[in-house]
């Protein structure tokens, strides 16, 4: 640790470059589907698709009292709630991060797309609430609200960061250097604001939609362990074998306790 | 201040003040030691405040730390203080030599070179024992952050939380390593300085009964470090 | 634009403001003496050809006078101040009928815990509201301050109340609001990048209004 | 009465007996106390500039919150986004402004520069007791400053928990948002502490043991007295901060728990340690200023200092009381209120020696023959501004009144009246006063006067209104006061302060210009340009290496202005031997030691 400090001191001039790189604003347009990045994997691979559901009754999402932030409150017609459990019709479960946990041959590397994943802070909530991103892929954090948000990333494998955006329209771009499921993102000014980012070295991940569906494409033949992660309900795994350009199902059912 | 003006009478001469009555190196060392006292006061004061502000009590004496070994080490340091006094006395008497036969006595008489060497060996020995102790302690799982998970000590603490002060092990480790570590650092500095003096001044016989300031100044420092250790040994190991 | 302390909103305001004014007068006199003296000397004793300074090393009498006057003033000031200080901050001065609220500070919000219908903290009908402090007018109120992460400071200017919330400590501060209305809490101790945003609103209600608000919260069930 | 022959004194203009030295030995790794003082001067003026630039950014944000800062584009996006200062950069600004100004500008300017430069010259000796340790003291101070500065260039930017570094914010990167710079802060403080202790050991030893024959304790100029007491404060206070900074560093790096409440650590312990150092530090920052101002006021008034002995005892009294008042920084911290009462009384008592000093300065000017040279103007500015700073301190000392103004802009106003109005005005007096002794030339009087008047005006326009917004409740270190309803009406005052602050900063360009221009083009200084009594004026300008060839004798106190024996002159230097004077009796023990 001490050695690190001294190397930091020694390289202080070089580090000006680093500190610049940390927060460079990128003018790239937001991707159409921010949660599902496009990686340069041939479309010829196999596909895993399925639905995520839950059993039991979902806990009620607490209402958010936004009366201190008039600018945010004005964006809602009804009282907004937190997004701990977003359920669709027929007990479909959204915001589940599904990814290939094991099975991708070791040593195989994937190039991260340069299109950023956009995390928008709008109406004092994060959009999207759960996102997947590749190692090295830019994460563009955008503040649409005219109020201060800070974005604190609580990470273990990656370097944690905590940056703030006091005015509307501010953008900060960050990248993650190591795979990590999940990185918690939170705003300490608005205690209800939480988002989760799954950082993967490969493009084989997806986030379930409102109807609980997810799709992972481009998988080469092999046997994979698929894990589904939900912020309240924990994780579940499934094993899927892909033989060619086929589409295999994988469904997950969580128990709401 | 006198407000009267001087008349034609001669002003009485003013004696130059003799300063502190000691030479500057010694005075400087005294001032430095005063500053070092404040440094250790900060550490020891914090230790007392933290230890007695704890909800539960510390590990019992001897439960974690090896008191007999450190007791021996304390003895070693006290010996080095004694040998430092002997070195000082030797050079004050003009004994620059290592050992010399004294007629009618079986033991040879030690000079500055001998007693300084003994002091250096004892000091280095102290540091060595302390390093050994640290290695042992860390091996048992006692670290500055507390008992390392899965270590022998962590298991003991689980079995007997009162004896091992399980709840406050973190602070125990923090204060123990910081205080003894900084003391050890002071001893190391002293040993290095003495080695330097030994080779540049003692062996070339540059000290004389007329001028042995270096020995006196390093001696002051050495006794101070010894004194600090006796305090630390008492409050860290024995209480 | 305001040129004075904020409008008084609690029983502490009166003694504090009076003391403030008293100190202002004392220091004002001292200031005028010094500054007028300096200006006078600068004009009167400016160097002119042929003038020579008056050779003196001082006057013991003058020095005793200007040592004694500040000493007496300061001791008197200390005694008066201490009287009010004990009332405002000493644990024993918290009125026994005080209404207790829990205030938990964290980066960067105030979580206020209300005792609910049974008016006791630590029971199951307690509820917590973010960034809103509701109190009853003319009712001694004690806030039990805790902090989650770093040091924060609970500050309501109109009430002349300020107390740090320190992690690991449980500090109680009391006050008695004298005016209904809406005020603000600010954090007075640098607590991180969102320090300035640690703002909460304060509502001083009549007892009935407060009861109604508690009931509404209970019905809303947002605990 | 014989008229005094102001003969050329026994100064040594010749370096003949000193071996010629290379440029490096002479000006870079110099052990000459005067060169070291000058090195400190340049380095700390640089850090003063750094601190000033940080202050300007703070003022921009407070005056015009959320508006793009002109020139903000050159700063990286992690600090300033689209020209707008980010909140995390703002708290770095307030932290580093305080840190640089206190530790790397004012403290080295007063102690590093003038203790080094003046002590041997004023007590009539050849150099410090330990010249090599003195050199190390400078290089360590520079190293500490550079480590601190490096904080801006590491990931996440500079340290951010205020210059007081309150734990646990400072101890936990996840709470402060910065990792490396917080550690760099701790390391820098440890190094600086070492430098300060080395310097102070030197000053104390030199003053005790190396005074010239005849320089008795009560013939020492008040500047030397003040620097002596300051050195004692530093030697005893800095190690406490060092100890605290080491504990903090261990908390930050190896995971100890000193300030971690989760493991039984105590956040208030940091505050106690910090302020136990911090309050003596406040006096480290003002006592030397008081001492030098005393010398200059006596000179400008052409009168002996009024109540020399009580001035000395006031310095000692302030220093002594300074050790038992640290708790007044913690009235609102949750410390036991009974302790608060104790600290209140001791704090109020400090007003007494301070008042004595102010009245004695006025007494010195009373019936004087005032010469308004630039140092004198700034010294008068010091007295009038320090008075405001001292008096506003009484508000905070009275604990109930402290409740509404604690940690508000009122405190900011108070501390700037003491540190800027006090210490910095004293420096604006001291720098031109001893400039000829350092560089052999005079600073321009005309620019100096212009600089003084403009600084005085803009300084008051900047800091006085802070009292008002502080009374209104504006908290310290907040990024944007306009989000509070009770602060919104005060925003015009904030804007006004910002404009004044920019003007104040701009005026300092005059000083910088004067300082640098005079190095080369200033008027050549006569030997005793201010017609002063100090021992240093027996030497040529600039003073040669080794100062005097032969240790000089001292015949009287330092303030014999307008003494009847002086004849037609209105000053009587300490080194001038009147026919009625006898040489001092040499000390029984060789004071020098070596």
Of C33, C66, C91, the residue at which a domain comes to its end is C91
**Given an 8 Å threshold on Cβ–Cβ distance, is D154 in contact with A12?**
yes
Dihedral of CA D117/D119/D120/D124: which sign?
Answer: positive
Tokens found for residue B80: 């080095």
Q: Which H or E element spans position A200? A: strand A194-200
| CATH code for the domain of A213 | 2.60.40.420
Is the Cβ–Cβ distance between C53 and D369 less than 8 Å?
A: yes
Is the Cβ–Cβ distance between C113 and C124 less than 8 Å?
A: no
End-to-end alpha-carbon separation of chain D, Å? 41
Contacts of B2 in chain C (CB under 8 A): 57
Confirm whether A83 is domain-assigned.
Answer: yes
3-state SS, one letter per residue, for chain C: CCCCCCCCCECCHHHHHHHHHHHHHHHHHHHHHHHHHHHHHHHHCECCCCCCCCCCCCCHHHHHHHHHHHHHHHHHHHHHHHHHHHHHHCHHHCCCCCEEEEEEEECCEEEEEECHHHCCCCCCCCEEEECEEEEECCCEEEEEEEECCCCEEEEEHHHCEEEEECCCCCEEEEEEECCCEEEEEEECCCCCCCHHHCCEEEEEECHHHHHHHHHHHHHHCCC
Confirm whether B139 is domain-assigned.
Answer: yes
For residue A41, the tally of other CB atoms under 10 A from its CB is 16
How many domains does chain B contain in total?
Answer: 1
Of C63, C91, C119, the residue at which a domain comes to its end is C91
Confirm whether B23 is domain-assigned.
Answer: no
d(CA D476, CA D98): 12
Residues 6+ apart with CB under 8 A from C5: C13, C16, C17, C20, C157, C160, D404, D471, D472, D473
Is the Cβ–Cβ distance between C204 and C181 less than 8 Å?
A: yes
Q: Pick the residue with more confidence: A29 or D437?
A: D437
C216 in the same domain as C133:
yes
What letters, b where the CB count within 10 A reaches 16 and e where it falls short, cover C17-36? Answer: bebbeebbebbeebbeebee
What is the nearest CA distance from D176 to chain A, expressed in angstroms?
9
**Given an 8 Å threshold on Cβ–Cβ distance, is B1 in contact with C58?**
yes
C137 in the same domain as C200:
yes
- Chain B residue with Cα closest to C169: B53
Confirm whether C4 is domain-assigned.
Answer: no
| CATH code for the domain of B140 | 1.20.120.80
C116 in the same domain as C46:
no
Q: Pick the residue with more confidence: A57 or D531?
A: D531
Given a contact as 3+ CB pairs under 8 Å, which chains touch D? A, B, C
Contacts of D129 in chain B (CB under 8 A): 24, 27-28
Prediction ipTM score: 0.89
Confirm whether A105 is domain-assigned.
Answer: yes
Confirm whether B5 is domain-assigned.
Answer: no
**Given an 8 Å threshold on Cβ–Cβ distance, is D255 in contact with B144?**
yes
Is the Cβ–Cβ distance between C95 and C140 less than 8 Å?
A: yes
How many domains does chain C contain in total?
Answer: 2
Residue D190 has pLDDT above 60, yes or no: yes
C100 in the same domain as C73:
no
Is the Cβ–Cβ distance between D36 and D30 less than 8 Å?
A: yes
Say yes or no: B42 contacts chain D, CB-CB below 8 A: yes
Radius of gyration (C-alpha) of chain C in whole angstroms: 25
What is the nearest CA distance from A147 to chain C, expressed in angstroms?
9
DSSP conformation class of D490? G
Residue D192 has pLDDT above 50, yes or no: yes
Provide the H-helix boundaries in D130-221. Answer: 131-150, 173-176, 180-209
What is the nearest CA distance from B4 to chain C, expressed in angstroms?
9
**Closest Cβ opposite residue C197 in set A67, A148, A162:** A148
Confirm whether B33 is domain-assigned.
Answer: no
What is the nearest CA distance from A144 to chain D, expressed in angstroms?
15
Tokens found for residue D173: 């990167």
Nearest to D137 by CA among D227, D37, D208, D237: D37
**Given an 8 Å threshold on Cβ–Cβ distance, is D81 in contact with A160?**
no
What is the nearest CA distance from C170 to chain B, expressed in angstroms?
14
Confirm whether A26 is domain-assigned.
Answer: no
C115 in the same domain as C86:
no
Confirm whether C135 is domain-assigned.
Answer: yes
What is the nearest CA distance from D173 to chain B, expressed in angstroms?
17
Domain boundaries, chain D: 28-566
C129 in the same domain as C52:
no
Interface of C with B in 53-72 (CB under 8 A): 55-58
Nearest to A166 by CA among A27, A31, A71: A71
Of C91, C118, C153, the residue at which a domain comes to its end is C91
Say yes or no: B107 contacts chain D, CB-CB below 8 A: no
Confirm whether C203 is domain-assigned.
Answer: yes
Which residues form the domain of C187? 96-220
**Cis omega before residue D339 (within 30°)?**
no
Query: What is the average pLDDT score of chain A?
Result: 83
C115 in the same domain as C79:
no
| CATH code for the domain of C60 | 1.10.287
Confirm whether C19 is domain-assigned.
Answer: yes
Integer angstrom CA distances of residue A45 from A199, A201, A223, A244: 21, 17, 13, 6
* DSSP-assigned states of every residue in D238-278: HHHHHHHHHHHHHHHHT---TT-GGGT--HHHHHHHHHHHH
Residue A137's pLDDT is what? Answer: 95
C148 in the same domain as C204:
yes
Span D61-119, pLDDT tens digits: 999 998 999 988 899 988 998 899 999 999 999 999 999 999 999 999 999 999 999 99
Interface of B with D in 14-33 (CB under 8 A): 14-25, 27-28, 31-32
> Which of B8-22, B53-67, C201-215 has the largest mean confidence?
C201-215
Please state the pTM of the whole predicted model.
Answer: 0.91
Which residues form the domain of A228? 41-255
Asked if chain A contacts chain B via 3 or more Cβ pairs within 8 Å, the reply is no
DSSP conformation class of D525? P
Provide CATH code, domain D28-566.
1.20.210.10
| CATH code for the domain of C127 | 2.60.40.420
How many CA atoms does the CB half-sphere of C77 hold within 13 Å?
A: 33
C116 in the same domain as C74:
no
Span B133-164, pLDDT tens digits: 999 999 999 999 999 988 999 999 999 888 89
Which residues form the domain of B99? 39-238
For residue A57, the tally of other CB atoms under 10 A from its CB is 9
How many domains does chain A contain in total?
Answer: 1
Integer angstrom CA distances of residue D223 from D195, D286, D296: 21, 11, 10
- Chain C residue with Cα closest to B4: C56
Mean pLDDT to the nearest integer, D403-424: 95
Confirm whether B4 is domain-assigned.
Answer: no
**Closest Cβ opposite residue A8 in set D78, D84, D180:** D180
C83 in the same domain as C23:
yes
C41 in the same domain as C127:
no
For A255, the 3-state DSSP assignment is strand
C214 in the same domain as C156:
yes
Nearest to D77 by CA among A18, A118, A143, A13: A18
Residue B183 has pLDDT above 80, yes or no: yes
Span B79-124, pLDDT tens digits: 999 999 999 999 999 888 898 888 888 888 889 999 999 999 999 9
Contacts of D306 in chain C (CB under 8 A): 56-59
Confirm whether A4 is domain-assigned.
Answer: no
Confirm whether A201 is domain-assigned.
Answer: yes
Tokens found for residue A169: 């329209």
Dihedral of CA A17/A23/A25/A31: which sign?
Answer: positive
d(CA B126, CA C100): 57
Mean pLDDT to the nearest integer, D340-354: 92
**Closest Cβ opposite residue D485 in set C67, C165, C184:** C184
**Given an 8 Å threshold on Cβ–Cβ distance, is A19 in contact with D154?**
yes
Provide the H-helix boundaries in chain B. Answer: 24-52, 67-92, 112-140, 152-159, 169-197, 213-232
Tokens found for residue B236: 């860290």
């Amino acid at each position: 640790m001490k050695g690190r400090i001294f190397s930091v001191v020694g390289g202080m001039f070089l580090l000006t470059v680093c500190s610049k790189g940390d927060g460079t604003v990128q003018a790239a347009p937001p991707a159409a589907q921010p949660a599902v990045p496009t990686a340069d994997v041939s479309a010829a691979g196999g596909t895993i698709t399925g639905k995520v559901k839950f059993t039991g009754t979902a806990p009620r999402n607490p209402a958010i009292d936004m009366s201190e932030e008039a600018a945010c409150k004005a964006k809602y017609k009804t009282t907004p709630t937190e997004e701990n459990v977003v359920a669709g019709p027929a007990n479909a479960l959204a915001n589940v991060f599904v990814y290939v946990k094991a099975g991708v041959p070791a040593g195989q590397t994937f190039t991260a797309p340069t299109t950023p994943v956009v995390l928008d802070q709008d109406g004092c909530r994060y959009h999207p609430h759960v996102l997947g991103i590749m190692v090295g892929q830019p994460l563009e954090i955008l503040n649409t609200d005219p109020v201060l948000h800070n974005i604190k990333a609580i990470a273990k494998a990656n370097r944690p960061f905590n940056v703030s955006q006091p005015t509307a329209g501010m953008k900060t771009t960050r990248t993650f250097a190591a795979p990590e499921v999940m990185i918690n993102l939170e705003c300490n000014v608005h205690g209800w604001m939480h988002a989760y980012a799954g950082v993967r070295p490969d493009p084989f991940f997806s986030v379930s939609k409102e109807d609980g569906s997810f799709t992972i494409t481009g998988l080469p033949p092999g046997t994979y362990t698929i894990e589904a992660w939900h912020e309240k309900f924990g994780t579940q795994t499934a094993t899927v074998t892909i033989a060619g350009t086929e589409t295999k199902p994988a469904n997950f059912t969580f128990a709401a306790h | 201040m006198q407000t009267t003006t001087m008349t034609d009478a001669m002003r009485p001469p003013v004696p130059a003040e003799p300063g502190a009555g000691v030479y500057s190196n010694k005075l400087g060392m005294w001032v430095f030691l005063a500053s070092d006292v404040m440094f250790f006061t900060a550490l020891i004061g914090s230790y007392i405040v933290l230890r007695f502000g704890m909800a539960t009590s510390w590990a019992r004496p001897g439960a974690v730390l090896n008191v007999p070994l450190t007791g021996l080490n304390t003895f070693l340091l006290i010996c080095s203080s004694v040998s430092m006094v002997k070195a000082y006395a030797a050079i004050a008497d003009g004994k620059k030599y290592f050992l010399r036969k004294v007629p009618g006595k079986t033991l040879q008489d030690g000079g500055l070179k001998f007693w300084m060497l003994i002091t250096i060996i004892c000091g280095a020995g102290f540091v060595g024992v302390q390093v050994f102790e640290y290695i042992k302690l860390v091996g048992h799982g006692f670290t500055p952050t507390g008992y390392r998970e899965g270590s022998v000590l962590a298991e003991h603490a689980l079995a007997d939380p009162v004896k091992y002060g399980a709840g406050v092990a973190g602070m125990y480790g923090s204060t123990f390593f910081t205080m003894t570590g900084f003391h050890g650092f002071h001893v190391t500095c002293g040993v290095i300085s003495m080695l330097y003096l030994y080779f540049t001044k003692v062996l070339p016989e540059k000290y004389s009964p007329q001028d042995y300031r270096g020995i006196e100044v390093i001696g002051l420092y050495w006794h101070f470090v010894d004194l600090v250790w006796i305090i630390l040994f008492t409050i860290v190991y024995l209480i | 634009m305001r040129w004075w302390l904020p409008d008084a909103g609690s029983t502490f305001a009166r003694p504090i403001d009076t003391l403030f004014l008293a100190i202002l007068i004392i220091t004002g006199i001292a200031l005028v003496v010094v500054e007028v003296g300096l200006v006078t000397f600068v004009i009167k004793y400016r160097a002119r050809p042929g003038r020579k300074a008056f050779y003196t090393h001082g006057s013991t009498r003058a020095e005793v006078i200007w040592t004694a006057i500040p000493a007496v003033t300061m001791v008197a000031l200390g005694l008066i101040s201490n009287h009010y200080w004990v009332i405002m901050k000493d644990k024993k001065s918290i009125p026994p009928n005080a209404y207790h609220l829990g205030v938990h500070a964290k980066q960067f919000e105030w979580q206020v815990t209300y005792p609910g219908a049974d008016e006791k903290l630590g029971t199951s009908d307690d509820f917590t509201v973010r960034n809103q402090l509701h109190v009853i007018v003319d009712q001694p109120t004690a806030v039990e301050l805790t902090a989650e992460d770093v040091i924060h400071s609970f500050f309501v200017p109109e009430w002349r109340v300020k107390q740090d919330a320190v992690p690991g400590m449980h500090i109680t501060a009391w006050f008695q609001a004298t005016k209904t209305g809406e005020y603000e809490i600010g954090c007075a101790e640098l607590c991180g990048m969102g320090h300035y945003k640690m703002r909460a609103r304060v509502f001083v209600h009549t007892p009935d209004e407060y009861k109604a608000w508690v009931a509404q919260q209970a019905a809303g069930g947002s605990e | 009465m014989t008229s005094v022959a102001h003969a050329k004194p026994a100064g040594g203009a010749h370096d003949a007996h000193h071996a010629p030295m290379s440029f490096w030995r002479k000006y870079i790794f110099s052990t000459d106390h005067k060169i070291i003082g000058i090195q400190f001067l340049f380095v700390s003026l640089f850090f003063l500039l750094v601190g000033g630039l940080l202050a300007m950014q703070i003022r921009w944000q407070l005056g015009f919150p959320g508006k793009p800062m002109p020139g903000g584009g050159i700063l990286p996006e992690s600090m300033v986004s689209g020209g707008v200062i980010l909140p995390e950069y703002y708290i770095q600004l307030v932290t580093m402004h305080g840190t640089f100004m206190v530790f790397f500008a004012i403290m080295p300017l007063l102690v590093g520069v003038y203790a080094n430069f003046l002590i041997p010259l004023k007590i009539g000796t050849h150099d410090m007791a330990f010249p090599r340790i003195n050199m190390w003291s400078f290089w360590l101070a520079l190293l500490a400053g550079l480590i601190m500065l490096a904080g801006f260039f590491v990931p996440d930017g500079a340290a951010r928990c205020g210059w007081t570094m309150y734990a646990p914010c400072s101890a936990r990167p996840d709470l402060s948002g910065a990792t490396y710079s917080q550690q760099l802060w701790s390391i820098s403080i440890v190094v600086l502490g070492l430098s300060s202790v080395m310097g102070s050991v030197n000053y104390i030893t030199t003053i005790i043991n190396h005074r010239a024959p005849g320089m008795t304790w009560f013939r020492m100029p008040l500047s030397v007295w003040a620097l002596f007491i300051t050195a004692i404060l530093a030697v005893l206070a800095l190690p406490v901060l060092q100890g605290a900074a080491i504990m903090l560093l261990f908390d930050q790096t190896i995971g100890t728990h000193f300030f971690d409440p989760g493991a039984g650590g105590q956040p208030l312990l940091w505050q106690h340690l910090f302020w136990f150092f911090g309050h003596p530090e406040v006096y480290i920052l003002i006592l030397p200023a008081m001492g030098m101002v005393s010398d200059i006021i006596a000179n400008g008034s052409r009168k002996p200092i009024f109540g020399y002995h009580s001035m000395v005892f006031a310095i000692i009294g302030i220093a002594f009381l300074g050790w038992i008042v640290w708790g007044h920084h913690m009235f609102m911290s949750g410390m036991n209120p009974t302790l608060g009462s104790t600290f209140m009384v001791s704090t109020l008592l400090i007003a007494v020696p301070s008042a004595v000093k102010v009245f004695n300065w006025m007494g010195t000017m009373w019936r004087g023959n005032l010469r308004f040279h630039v140092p004198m103007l700034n010294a008068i500015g010091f007295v009038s501004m320090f008075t405001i700073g001292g008096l506003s301190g009484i508000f905070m000392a009275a604990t109930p009144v402290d409740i509404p103004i604690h940690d508000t802009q009122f405190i900011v106003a108070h501390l700037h009246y003491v540190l800027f109005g006090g210490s910095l005005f004293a420096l604006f007096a001291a720098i031109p006063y001893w400039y000829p002794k350092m560089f052999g030339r005079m600073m321009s009087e005309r620019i100096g006067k212009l600089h003084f008047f403009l600084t005085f005006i803009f300084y008051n326009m900047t800091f006085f209104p802070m009292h008002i917004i502080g009374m209104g409740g504006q908290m310290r270190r907040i990024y944007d006061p306009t989000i509070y309803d009770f602060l919104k009406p005060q925003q015009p005052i904030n804007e006004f302060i910002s404009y004044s602050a920019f003007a104040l900063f701009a005026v300092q360009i005059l000083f910088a210009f004067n300082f640098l221009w005079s190095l080369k083009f200033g008027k050549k200084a006569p030997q005793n340009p201010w017609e002063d009594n100090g021992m240093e004026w027996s030497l040529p300008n600039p003073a040669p290496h080794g100062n005097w060839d032969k240790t000089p004798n001292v015949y009287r106190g330092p303030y014999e202005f307008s003494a009847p024996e002086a004849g037609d002159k209105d000053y009587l230097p300490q080194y001038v031997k009147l026919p009625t004077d006898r040489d001092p009796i040499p000390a029984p023990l060789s004071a020098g030691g070596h």
